[in-house]
Amino acid sequence: MNDFRLYAITGEQFHPNRDLVEVMEEAIIGGADIIQLRDKTSGREELLRKAHSLRELTRKYGVTFIVNDHIDIALEVDADGIHLGQNDLTLEEARKLVGDKIIGISTHAIEEARLAQEQGADYIGVGPVFRTATKADVVDPVSVSYVREVAAEIGIPFVAIGGIKLNNVDEVIAAGATRICAVSEIVGSSDVSGTCRAFLAKLTNKGEAE
């Protein structure tokens, strides 16, 4: 869990004429090492179909597969883990259901990050760093100052997320992020693999500079 660097989340609204699995496969080929299925609109049958397809894809490439919110779907397809928001099931309740599977928690303030760490989250999302239109219920941006706080204090893996693009990711990395998540910038790209490689190059160059 510690060695991931690029986390890609599905966002079919950003590639309306392209197949979900095809796009996510390109992301994996480009270097994404975690794939999350996040779908707020599909019915259960359609969601399950997508989850099965992505589980098959991620197994083929040996990358981690996370399902957002839907614990029942995650368990049914044997996903590697789940991701929960602040208003979802508590971490304690989720742990009883998923056992030793990965549990990620979205956080928007250092108090939430501390609590997630104390309660045994495997990783946290830190964001939204910048303004984003990816989610309808998104909270106000937390800015890179929150990334800096988490980098200085929190010991579990964290991934910076929210409005992150190739033209602003350097600022996020400079604040201490070593793991990046992007949605529209990756899946909406005309060159998904190339965009992933470009993100990884920036992360790698930062590491070499240090």
What is the CB neighbour count within 10 angstroms for residue 148? 15
Residue 143: active-site member: no
Instruction: Examine the residue annotation and report whether 190 is marked as an active-site residue of this protein.
Output: no
Q: How far apart are CA 207 and CA 142, in angstroms?
A: 24
Fold of 6-209: TIM Barrel (3.20.20)
pTM for this structure? 0.95
**For residue range 107-166, what is the model confidence (pLDDT) as tens digits?**
999 999 999 999 999 999 999 999 877 666 667 889 999 999 999 999 999 999 999 999
- Please say if the pLDDT value at position 198 is more than 80: yes
Q: Six-digit token pair at 13? A: 């609204």
Q: What is the pLDDT of residue 206?
A: 63
| CA dihedral sign of residues 63, 8, 150, 148 | positive
Q: Which of 106, 179, 184, 189 is catalytic?
A: 106
Residues 6+ away with beta carbon under 8 Å from 199: 6, 31, 166, 169, 180, 182, 186
Q: What is the mean pLDDT of the chain?
A: 94
Find, among 49, 29, 108, 97, the residue nearest to 69 by Cα.
97
Is 38 annotated as catalytic?
yes
Domain ranges of the chain: 6-209
Cβ(117)–Cβ(155) under 8 Å? yes
pLDDT digit string, tens, across residues 71-106: 999 999 999 999 999 998 999 999 999 999 999 999
Residue 170 confidence (pLDDT) above 50 = yes
Indicate whether 24 pLDDT > 70: yes
pLDDT-based confidence at residue 209 (cuts at 50, 70, 90): very low
Q: Which of 18, 95, 114, 135 is catalytic?
A: 135
